Structure 1
C-alpha cells in the first residue's frame, strides 16, 4: 500500500493519477487534512484518510499498513520542520518500508532560502533510520507561468533572476518521477536531483510568451528588494513575496540550474518543453 500525503494539492493529485495507471485504487491512500476535497478520488476507490502534519495521532492512523509513503513537503514555509518531524516519527512508529520525500534541487548547497527546511528534513530522515529516498525537485515551470496574464497585460515580465538559467519542468513530470520511485525496486538510499531537460532565462521565457501570444513582452530585471515590493504591491502576502524574491535571487546564483537529466531518465521520456507549457498557459 502506498500513502501519499498532501494528496489534495496539485502535486499530490498528479502523483495519485500516475499511481492509478500502475496499481489498483484500493492500494493507494490519499492522506489529507480535508477529506471532502478528495471525494472524487474516493469515488475511484482510492482510500482517503485524515492526516494533519500538526496532529500526530492522525498521522499514526493515516500511515498504518503503508509499505511506501510519499512525504510531500508541507506548504507552510517556516513550519515545515516540526511538521515533517511529526510525519517522520509517525512513519517510524508505523514501520513504513520506504519514505520518499520531496525536497528541493541540491538542498545541501542551494542558495535559496527555502532550502534550509528541506536540508534539515533530509537530516531528520537520515537520523530516523528509516529506509528513504530523496526527490530533490527543481522548480515547477507553472510557478513562472502563473505570471503570464500580468506580463501580457503590461508587456513586461518582472523578476530578479538576472540571466540565471532555470531548468524547470512540469509539475506532472515530477509527479511521474515520484510514482516511478514509489513503484520501483531498490530505491532506499538514493538522492535524485530532478530538473528539466532544457534550461532558460527569464529573458528567454518572456520572448517565448511574446512569440506565441503575438504581443510584445520583455523581461525587466529588478533588484531583489524592488521585486519583493512589486509582489507586495500586487497583493501577495509578505512571506510569499519574500520567498519568491529570494528564490529569484537564488536563480541568479545558479540555484535552479541542473543539466544531469535524472528526471527524464527516471520517467523514461523527455520532460515537458517550455514551449508546450507556455502554449497551455496562453490557452
Structure 2
C-alpha cells in the first residue's frame, strides 16, 4: 500500500490525484489530522486515516501496511519541524514501512540562509540514520510563490528585491506528478533526488520575461536588505515573515537554488512548466 500524509494540502493532494490515475484506489491510504477534509478521496475508495505528527501515538496505526510512505514536510509555524519529522520517521520504523519518501527542497543544506533548507537537511540526516530505505524529493522552489515574491510588478512595472540570484522555479503541480511517478516506478530512487524546472533565471531575467509576457516594461531594482525589510513591514507584513523571506533571497544569491536537473522532465515525459507559463497564467 502507498500511504500519503498531508493529502488535504495542495502538493500531496495533487500527488494522490495522480496516483489514482496509475493504481487502484484500494492501494492508497491518506493520513490527515482532520479526516472530514479528505471526503473526496474516501468517495473514490481511498482509505482515510487519522494521524498527526504532533501526536506520536496516532502515527504507527496510520502508517500500517505502508510499502511506501510519503511524508509531507511540516509547515506548522508554531512547531519544531525537525522534531515533528523525527516523530513521523520513528513511527515509520515502528510500522515497518518499506520505504519512506519525504518532500524536501532543493538546496537543503546546514549553511543555507533559508531556514526550511536547514530543517530539510536535518530531516534527511534522520532518514539516513533510520535504517529504512528512503528517498528525499528535493523539489525546486515552488513557482506559484513567484507571483508574490516578485511583488506588485503588474502595477508598478518594477520587481524590487534585496538580493538577486538564480532560482529553478518549479511548478508544484509538476512536482506532485513526478512524486506519483516515482511512487509507482519499478526503479528505486535512493537518497536525495532533485526535481526542478529546466532553467534557473535570476530576478533580473524574470523581469525581462515579465516584460515580454505583459507587453510593458518591467525593471529590476535591488535595494539594501534592511531597507527592503522595512518596506515589507511598512506594507503590513509581520517582521518575522519579512526576515524569513529575506533568507530565501539571500540563499538564492548564494546559489542554493541555481541547479537544474533533467529528472523532472524525464518523469513527466514533457518539458516542465516555465516562469513564462507561470507569469502568463497570473496575468490571465
Check whether the contact 2:112–2:118 (CA below 8 A) recurs between aligned residues.
no
Q: Distance in 1 between matches of 2:245 and 2:172?
A: 18
Distance 1:264-1:30 versus aligned 2 partners, 3 A rule: same
Is structure 2 residue 54 aligned with structure 1 residue 41?
Answer: no
Aligned to 1:195: 196
Check whether the contact 1:4–1:70 (CA below 8 A) recurs between aligned residues.
yes
Deviates more, 1:176-185 or 1:212-221: 212-221
Aligned to 2:163: 161
Is structure 2 residue 104 aligned with structure 1 residue 111?
Answer: no
Deviates more, 1:198-207 or 1:136-145: 198-207
- Write the mapping of 1:1-283 to structure 2, written as runs, cut at 5 A: 1-76=1-76, 79-108=80-109, 111-114=112-115, 115-147=117-149, 150-162=152-164, 164-187=165-188, 189-283=190-284
Q: CA deviation at 1:152?
A: 1.4
Distance 1:34-1:235 versus aligned 2 partners, 3 A rule: farther
Check whether the contact 1:134–1:190 (CA below 8 A) recurs between aligned residues.
yes
Distance 1:63-1:159 versus aligned 2 partners, 3 A rule: same
Q: Distance in 2 between matches of 1:133 and 1:139?
A: 18
Q: CA deviation at 1:144?
A: 0.7
CA RMSD of aligned residues (A): 2.0
The C-alpha deviation readout for 1:60-111, integer Å capped at 9, x for no partner, is 2211111111111101256111100110011111111010111121323663
Q: Distance in 1 between matches of 2:170 and 2:194?
A: 12
Scaled by the length of structure 2, the TM-score of the pair is: 0.91
Check whether the contact 1:132–1:187 (CA below 8 A) recurs between aligned residues.
no
The C-alpha deviation readout for 1:194-233, integer Å capped at 9, x for no partner, is 2210221112222322322234432221233333333333
Deviates more, 1:48-57 or 1:263-272: 263-272
Structure 2 unpaired stretches of 5+: none
Aligned residues: 282
Q: Distance in 1 between matches of 2:151 and 2:239?
A: 22
Structure 1 unpaired stretches of 5+: none
Check whether the contact 1:160–1:245 (CA below 8 A) recurs between aligned residues.
yes
Check whether the contact 1:3–1:30 (CA below 8 A) recurs between aligned residues.
yes
Q: Distance in 2 between matches of 1:56 and 1:232?
A: 37
